Structure 1
Amino acid sequence: MQKFSVLGAIAAMATMASGAAYAQSASSEARLTSPVTAPQEAVIAGVAWRCEGDACLGAGHKANVDGLVRECKKVVAVVGPVASYKSRGRDLTIGQLRACNKAAVQIQTARN
């Protein structure tokens, strides 16, 4: 019986560690303008994204040759408009965010 409780504790620790590892390996971050009601996951341009509340983290080892705004547009097409976007250590400016979010509005309009 003791083996099962030890295995359960190990499994719980592994689950917690994988969440922390995901956050540490994040190469991109976005803050949504409207929080999601339930956690969402998607692979966008080879990067695994996970959104909870208004925070999204993108983790992946794909070399991205897209410009930062183009990369952001791909993300907002899936997750919706963002209040901030950071990738590979660079933040979008307010003007770049406006251009990025414009793509999300155009996609939402086309879907409706």
Structure 2
Amino acid sequence: MQNFRCVSAIAAMAVFAAGGAFAQTTGYRGEARLATPSTAPVAQTIGGVAWRCDGDACQGEAARKGNVDGVVRECKKVVAVIGPVASYRSGARELTDSQVRACNKAAIQLQTARN
């Protein structure tokens, strides 16, 4: 019976430690490379994500991702604000070349419609 209690206590500690590891996740992180580098640093909040661009490199960070948009739709929102991109990554997902073209095309059409 003693061994069972000891094993149960160890198992409970392992579950507690694993739960703590999940609670310490870093949140959302996105990356984009602009098609044309910006001449000055840019900082914008888009869909709850703080985006910062310097030159052609952009990084987006948030404590957590609050929307359930697909990656291409998310990219379109970013492109509509910061301009066309050469590449786009959301978390572990990266857009293909054809998806990047679709993202840029739709966002440029949206910008044109606004003007």
- 1:25: how far off? 7.0
C-alpha change, 1:26 and 1:34, in structure 2 (3 Å) is farther
Two-structure CA RMSD over aligned residues (Å):
1.7
- CA shift in 2, pair 1:38/1:25, >3 Å: farther
**1:60-99 alignment, distance < 5 Å:** 60=62, 61-99=64-102
- What is the match of residue 29 of structure 2? 27
Counterpart residue identity of residue 64, structure 1: N
**How far 1:87 sits from its partner (Å)?**
0.5
Q: TM-score with structure 2 length normalisation?
A: 0.71
**Unmatched tracts of structure 2, length 5 or more:** 1-25
Structure with max Cα Rg: 2
- Aligned residue type for 2:113: A
Does the 8 Å CA contact 1:38/1:53 hold for their aligned counterparts? Answer: yes
Does the 8 A contact of 2:33 with 2:85 survive in 1?
yes
Q: TM-score, normalised by structure 1?
A: 0.73
Which residue of the partner structure matches residue 40 of structure 1?
A: 42
Count residues with an aligned counterpart: 89
